[in-house]
Amino acid sequence: MPKTITVHGVVAAGFEPVRDAFLANFVRRGEIGAGFCVYRDGVPIIDLWGGVADRATDRPWDADTMAIVFSSTKGALALSLMLLADRGLLDYDAPVARYWPEFAQADKADITARTLLNHRAGLITIDQPFTLDDLAHDPQKVVDACARQAPMWAPGTDQGYHAVTFGLYGGELFRRVAGTSVGRFLADEIAGPLGADVFIGLPAHHDHRVAVNYPADTRERLTRGLPKLLFHRGLEGRVYRQAAQRGTATARAFSNPRELGPMGLDNYNTRRVRAMELPWSNGVASARGLARVYAALARGGELDGVRLLRPRSVEAVHRRQSWVSNDRVLRKPLGFAQGFIKEETRMFSPHVEAFGHPGAGGALGFCDPRSRLGIGYVMNRMGHHVRSPRALALCHALYRCL
């Protein structure tokens, strides 16, 4: 962490405590570099950045620095599918096999798009191992493995976070319906019109803007992670123990491909991975970019004269479509609506209408239609928490100011 932290940017009058919380993330919570941006009713009210994007070169984090946002990528896929539905091309309540006939194998013929996207299909893993090379050079091998996969439980009867497979299945469903990849569509139909830096498949000319991602180091794993694994009786201890036990739903959900699992996080710092379209984990975005996308959703699908979709399409995800008190994978109360996360109201927003998607380490793209807020937070230090205390501190400070 830099010896002296300078917080850059602006906050609207009355939101100064958010700047204080942003600074506290560096001083007390180990932040390395980060950006935080909030729109309210289409107008930016908070735009902050600070720290370093690359420790080796001391490159500072600037206003438009981007970072890998991990599972916040899923929100971009969910939004892209929502646009297809808004245009009458996708019916959430139709079987996935209508659009992807091979999907019907292994008793999956009746699984609907809504069941799949709400993490209720039981398809939390792919039993056939695959690699980054397969994804890059033989994607049909992976698609065929997805089609052959049998559900872990009776589809529709329970919920378990599809950590990797949400992107594998959702991305192929998107391609079958749209005839193009989700990354191309995102660039052409969403991010481009909005002027938002959000990518799935980063063009090479933007690579110099991406912050280096720093996973938890050996010291943090030994002093913070291991004690949780062994002794912690709360949520994080339960998740750690489930992840460490081979064959559990938690372990299986994150195990394939191994190169992108917990021990392969450095791969996200490579040009190779940033260039791929992995619509569950390798999205690259700036805080401003995420905030602009979710600001449009907070306003019923429109921002600065650009209408992405009709208000009624957005209103459909104001309500929880799936909710369980103990998600099979994340081991906590959690819900979904057409692929967007519906968190507990004590987390990012006190309003049940809020939706979006967090990512590993703390990245967050979220909106609150009731308060008309669009939120983007990106950073480059991953931690050992299931939900980032840095992201939570920023959101809680924001709501205290409203």
Assess if residue 121 is contained within a domain.
no
Assess if residue 277 is contained within a domain.
yes
Annotated catalytic residue, options 71, 181, 255, 313: 71
For position 386, what pLDDT does the model report? 66
**pLDDT, average across residues 283-312:** 98
Render 342-376 in DSSP notation, one character per residue. E--TTSS-S-TT-EEEE-GGG-EEEEETTTTEEEE
For position 242, what pLDDT does the model report? 66
* Stretch (H or E) spanning 378: strand 373-379
- Look at 2-6, 13-17, 289-293 and tell me which has the smallest mean pLDDT: 2-6
Assess if residue 264 is contained within a domain.
yes
Number of C-alpha atoms within 13 angstroms, CB side, residue 367?
Answer: 27
- Into how many domains does the chain fold? 1
Domain limits for position 388: 8-76+183-401
For position 19, what pLDDT does the model report? 98
CATH of the domain at 361: 3.40.710.10
Burial of 170 (0-12, 13-18, 19+ CB in 10 A): buried
Q: What is the pTM of this model?
A: 0.94
Assess if residue 170 is contained within a domain.
no
Encode pLDDT of 131-149 as tens digits. Answer: 999 999 999 999 999 999 9
Q: What is the CA radius of gyration of the chain?
A: 20
Assess if residue 63 is contained within a domain.
yes
Cα torsion at 100, 160, 249, 261 (round to 10°)? Answer: 70
For position 305, what pLDDT does the model report? 98
- Average predicted confidence (pLDDT) for the chain: 93
Known active-site residue 71:
yes
For position 379, what pLDDT does the model report? 98
For position 78, what pLDDT does the model report? 98
Tokens representing residue 265 in the block: 């996080």
**In 3D, which of 52, 47, 60, 53 has the Cα closest to residue 210?**
53
Chain position carrying tokens 């990518």: 199
Assess if residue 60 is contained within a domain.
yes
Assess if residue 114 is contained within a domain.
no
Assess if residue 172 is contained within a domain.
no
